[in-house]
Amino acid sequence: MIPTSLDWCQEQDRNDPLAPMKDRFDLPEGVIYMDGNSLGVLPKGVDARIADVVKKEWGQDLIKSWNTADWINLPARVGRKIAPLVGAKPNEVVMADSTSINLFKVAAAACRMNKGRTKIITEPGNFPTDLYMLQGLSDFLGPDVALQVVERDQIIDAIDDDTAVVVLTHVHYVTADMFDMKAVTEAAHAKGALMVWDLSHSTGAVPVDLNAAGADFAVGCGYKYLNGGPGAPAFLYVAERHQAAVKQPLTGWFGHKTPFEFLDDYEPAGDIRRMLVGTTSVMAASALDEAMNAFEGVDMMVVRKKSQALTDLFIALCREKLKDHGVGLATSENPGKRGSHVSLKCENGYAVMQALIERGVIGDFRAPDFMRFGFTPLYLGFEDVYRAVEIMADIFETGFWKEARFNEKGAVT
Amino acid sequence: MIPTSLDWCQEQDRNDPLAPMKDRFDLPEGVIYMDGNSLGVLPKGVDARIADVVKKEWGQDLIKSWNTADWINLPARVGRKIAPLVGAKPNEVVMADSTSINLFKVAAAACRMNKGRTKIITEPGNFPTDLYMLQGLSDFLGPDVALQVVERDQIIDAIDDDTAVVVLTHVHYVTADMFDMKAVTEAAHAKGALMVWDLSHSTGAVPVDLNAAGADFAVGCGYKYLNGGPGAPAFLYVAERHQAAVKQPLTGWFGHKTPFEFLDDYEPAGDIRRMLVGTTSVMAASALDEAMNAFEGVDMMVVRKKSQALTDLFIALCREKLKDHGVGLATSENPGKRGSHVSLKCENGYAVMQALIERGVIGDFRAPDFMRFGFTPLYLGFEDVYRAVEIMADIFETGFWKEARFNEKGAVT
């Protein structure tokens, strides 16, 4: 039995080795923010850094800043900061574009490396943009390569000698179900398939070890647990062993061996920079660069332990306080098998979430009926979790959500 | 004969209807900035806007800002602001990704619309990323589609019944040579080919009328004459008549008809939003959005007239003051045939440009031997041009550039 008393929660906060980390962020007053899995909060220092980028680097120094502020190396520099969070070598990660575009690049590159194989495997209910990008890719590749969408419990059996690449999201965006990265990667490799992991709902919240898993490629998001700001640049990983051979189709000048020689013929950079395409937003990149400092000295195993404790507590509190309200758990009860968010299934989930947000508890809603709550150990405490469930219980008990429901014309379906 | 006296230049500045526009920008002190064709200066208001985006929209309001600050519609909103500068309808332009990625999307879409045709035509010496992206695309499309690189005076003859798409940059990034957009587009259409224009070195400096030219697709840059900041998002244009049919391969969730229903199957938005891919950086997009306000009430014909006067003056001054220094003009003498920058060919161009920069005249160098000077009528004046050439003449006469040359070990080849 997990203790669920307020006293116990407060004691956990007092003993929490990560409690001081909260000071690294500018949190809004009076809000319990449980949506860091969608958009991370503002790390301290980012506003000053961006003001400097705008007023000095851009406004005063203008094009000189490509060299003096080292804008040119931002993609690799930020990549090096992300690498340790995903178990990669410093030269295996680069910041670039959006998660969607990076997925296209690595999946296309994998199909090329496994030319002749006819299948891309993923799962239904994967994050939509992953499905969409793979649909676009297989459509573009013509009849030679087809996307096969396989239920997660049948994926390993579906991987065969015709499989070019398996593309999966490590932590599911709704259920938080987490794949065994090493086991699935090994199953793919056993059949000669390549493995792409989408780490969008993992990086910064769950320890990831791409090298130990033997992963070939990965992509991930900069604006969730990495707190890089809305629409922050994404990142991608290419295992060192593939870097000399990998060919991705978006061959832009920033992926060229010598972009500033302005040559007519494309020749890819010798390293992971060949995965770059065009010019990166320096503001967006600098925000993520600065945000990554919030992870300085943070042990991801300690983060994981707290994340599991917070999600365990949340589930126990929901079970205790919401038991009469028809709320179901859509996330695994086994803390080893879930990421750092929890989804509740609830018929009136949209309206209840609106009511929660009005009362300062920020989670989000995912169709058709999931309320999703993120647990970001660097800035969420145990008492926060207690208060959030207490408010949710009050919303159910007072029927407050029903009002919200009828105020939101047509929004609840 | 164009007058070249200082008095005349000062009088031009006094009579310049665009002179007050300079107040819309935060220019560094003591600098004559002639590189707005590479990176535009900081428009006033951008720093305050970005501070608000960071501290309030992100920091305080967090995910609510997708609605309350209308983040979700930034791509279309900024597109609508750019549209009048390129002769497009408000629903024909959208802000998205980088120029490179946009070029891939529209060129791929054009190849699909003209399926069965085997050629993509462009010119040698086009901006490198355009060549590289087209190389990547044709390579990816396999043996059915090949890139044909044709000298510019032979392009119209090269367009034939096998040509899927012609991709050209309206104003050349080195020479500033400007295509006759309407004539080339009509020649392409006469053979059933589609036309893609890269407007990176045109938009905001040269009047462009995509609708009048009958252009099919276009792409352009946000960080040059639009002053959107380093690595600002780019934009793309799809003629309204193509929007219902156009299919681009980077089918990300922001191009979906209903992205927030999180459906498994991609269905493109009914309008130009189908050209979007992933999440845009809100900071980068907001900077460009704010920067576009500098064009409020600006008549592009007045901009063009001043641009031609400034470039005429620069060429006349160079001819007068640099005549003994082996400097050649790499840009057309006909102001109707060039964009808004001028390139000088000069054996020691790299060292001379370094010396110019040291003395506060910021242009840039493009291999192998071009010094490039941009003329941005909203913030550059006639006296600025006079002073710039005066300083350049002094550099040649005192041999100052020779020192620069020897200080830059290995940089001059």
**Inside any domain, residue B41:** no
Same domain, B310 and B210: no
**Inside any domain, residue B40:** no
Same domain, B23 and B121: no
d(CA A35, CA B196): 42
Burial state string for A86-111 with b = 16 or more CB within 10 A and e = fewer than 16: bbbeebbbbbbbbbbbbbbbbbbbbb
The number of angstroms, rounded, from the C-alpha of B221 to the middle of its chain's C-alpha atoms is 5
d(CA A42, CA A229): 7
d(CA A278, CA A276): 7
**Inside any domain, residue B121:** yes
What's the pLDDT score for residue A183?
A: 98
A39 neighbors A291 (Cβ within 8 angstroms) = no
Which is it for strands B146-149 and B93-96: parallel, antiparallel or unpaired? Answer: unpaired
Q: Which helix (H) or strand (E) segment is B189 a member of?
A: helix B181-190
Hey, is the C-beta of B288 within 8 angstroms of any chain A C-beta?
no
A97 neighbors B101 (Cβ within 8 angstroms) = yes
Same domain, B54 and B165: yes
Q: Catalytic one among B217, B223, B350, B396?
A: B223
Annotation: binding site of B for pyridoxal 5'-phosphate: 99-100, 127-130, 169, 198, 201, 223, 253, 279
What's the pLDDT score for residue A401?
A: 62
Same domain, A26 and A57: no
Residues 6+ apart with CB under 8 A from A29: none
Give me the mean pLDDT over the A50-66 stretch.
97
Say if residue B409's pLDDT is above 60: no
Contact A58 B229 (CB under 8 A): yes
Give me the mean pLDDT over the A183-194 stretch.
98
d(CA A126, CA A172): 7
For B191, the 3-state DSSP assignment is coil
What's the pLDDT score for residue A411?
A: 34
**Inside any domain, residue B38:** no
- The amino acid present at B117, given as its one-letter code, is R
Q: What angle do CA A345, A348, A350 make, to 5 degrees?
A: 90
A250 neighbors A277 (Cβ within 8 angstroms) = yes
What's the pLDDT score for residue B2?
A: 87
Instruction: Please state the φ and ψ torsions of residue B54, each to the nearest 5 degrees.
Output: -70, -55
Same domain, B71 and B211: yes
Domain assignment of residue A186, given as a range: 48-295
**Inside any domain, residue B204:** yes
Share of chain A above pLDDT 90, in %: 93
Domain boundary among B240, B260, B295: B295
pLDDT digits (tens, 9 = 90+) for B34-84: 999 999 999 999 999 999 999 999 999 999 999 999 999 999 999 999 999
Task: Tell me the shortest Cα–Cα distance from B70 to chain A, in angstroms.
Answer: 12
Give me the mean pLDDT over the A1-19 stretch.
96
Same domain, A112 and A248: yes
For B266, the 3-state DSSP assignment is coil
Q: CA dist A166 to A156, A190, A247, B400, Å?
A: 10, 12, 18, 60
Same domain, B70 and B176: yes
Contact B277 A108 (CB under 8 A): no
Mutation for testing the A interface, residue in B113, B138, B140, B150 having most A CBs under 10 Å? B140
Same domain, B77 and B205: yes
Nearest to A39 among B54, B63, B364 (CB): B63
**Inside any domain, residue A43:** no
**CATH code at position B25:** 3.90.1150.10
Residues 6+ apart with CB under 8 A from A228: A40, A222, A284, A287, A288, A291, A292
**Inside any domain, residue B266:** yes
What's the pLDDT score for residue A399?
A: 81
**Residue B217 bears catalytic tag:** no
Annotation: binding site of A for pyridoxal 5'-phosphate: 99-100, 127-130, 169, 198, 201, 223, 253, 279
Q: Catalytic one among A198, A216, A289, A384?
A: A198
Burial state string for B129-161 with b = 16 or more CB within 10 A and e = fewer than 16: bbbbbbbbbbbbbeeebebbbbebeebbebbee
Confidence of residue B1 (pLDDT cuts 50, 70, 90): confident
Of B79, B171, B161, the closest CA to residue B116 belongs to: B161
**Residue A295 bears catalytic tag:** no
Mutation for testing the B interface, residue in A34, A68, A100, A343 having most B CBs under 10 Å? A100
Instruction: Please state the φ and ψ torsions of residue B347, each to the nearest 5 degrees.
Output: -55, -40
Annotation: binding site of B: 99-100, 127-130, 169, 198, 201, 223, 253, 279
Contact B281 A231 (CB under 8 A): yes
Q: Which helix (H) or strand (E) segment is A181 a member of?
A: helix A181-190
**Inside any domain, residue A39:** no
Q: Judged by CB atoms within 8 Å, which residues 115-174 of A form the interface with B?
A: 124-125, 128-129, 131-133, 135-137, 139-140, 142, 149
Give me the mean pLDDT over the A80-97 stretch.
98
B240 neighbors B55 (Cβ within 8 angstroms) = no
Give me the mean pLDDT over the B314-342 stretch.
95
Of B8, B76, B9, B63, the closest CA to residue B289 belongs to: B76
d(CA A238, CA B307): 46
pLDDT digits (tens, 9 = 90+) for B136-169: 999 999 898 999 999 999 999 999 999 999 999 9
CA atoms within 13 A on the CB side of B161: 0
Report the chain A residue with the minimal C-alpha distance to residue B124: A264
Confidence of residue B401 (pLDDT cuts 50, 70, 90): low
Same domain, A257 and A344: no
Number of structural domains, chain B? 2
Same domain, B340 and B252: no
Contact B132 A281 (CB under 8 A): no
Same domain, A264 and A357: no
Of A259, A129, A271, the closest CA to residue A200 belongs to: A129
Domain boundary among A267, A295, A323: A295
**CATH code at position B270:** 3.40.640.10
**Residue B223 bears catalytic tag:** yes
For chain B, what is the radius of gyration of the CA atoms? 22
B228 neighbors B283 (Cβ within 8 angstroms) = no
Say if residue A402's pLDDT is above 80: no
Contact B230 A39 (CB under 8 A): no
Residue B385 has a CB neighbour count (10 Å cut-off) of 27
Confidence of residue B370 (pLDDT cuts 50, 70, 90): very high
What's the pLDDT score for residue A2?
A: 87
Retrieve residue B215's tokens.
């252009």
B278 neighbors B253 (Cβ within 8 angstroms) = yes
Taking the alpha carbons of A360, A366, A369, A371 in that order, is the dihedral positive or negative?
negative
Residues 6+ apart with CB under 8 A from A107: A120, A133, A134, A137, A165, A167, A196, A217
pLDDT digits (tens, 9 = 90+) for B197-206: 999 999 999 9
pLDDT digits (tens, 9 = 90+) for B171-185: 999 999 999 999 999
What's the pLDDT score for residue A410?
A: 34
pLDDT digits (tens, 9 = 90+) for B75-123: 999 999 999 999 999 999 999 999 999 999 999 999 999 999 999 999 9
Which is it for strands B146-149 and B163-169: parallel, antiparallel or unpaired? Answer: unpaired
Confidence of residue B402 (pLDDT cuts 50, 70, 90): low
Q: Judged by CB atoms within 8 Å, which residues 17-56 of A form the interface with B?
A: 26, 28, 31, 33, 35, 38-39, 41-42, 46-47, 50-51, 54-55
Tell me the average pLDDT of chain A: 95
- The amino acid present at A376, given as its one-letter code, is T
Confidence of residue A403 (pLDDT cuts 50, 70, 90): low
Same domain, B189 and B306: no
Strand partners, B372: B343, B364
Task: Tell me the shortest Cα–Cα distance from B407 to chain A, in angstroms.
Answer: 17
Q: CA dist A82 to A79, A376, B258, Å?
A: 5, 17, 32
What's the pLDDT score for residue A367?
A: 85
For B84, the 3-state DSSP assignment is helix
Domain boundary among B256, B278, B295: B295
Residue B270, class by beta-carbon neighbours within 10 Å (0-12 exposed, 13-18 middle, 19+ buried)? exposed
- The amino acid present at B219, given as its one-letter code, is V
Looking at this predicted complex, what is its ipTM? 0.96
Tell me the average pLDDT of chain B: 95
Residues of B in contact with A260 (CB under 8 A): 367
Give me the mean pLDDT over the A275-302 stretch.
98
Report the chain B residue with the minimal C-alpha distance to residue A254: B129
Q: Catalytic one among B127, B217, B225, B396?
A: B127
pLDDT digits (tens, 9 = 90+) for A349-396: 999 999 999 999 999 999 889 999 999 999 999 999 999 999 999 999
Q: Catalytic one among A24, A105, A224, A405?
A: A224
For B197, the 3-state DSSP assignment is strand
Nearest to A35 among B62, B98, B131 (CB): B62
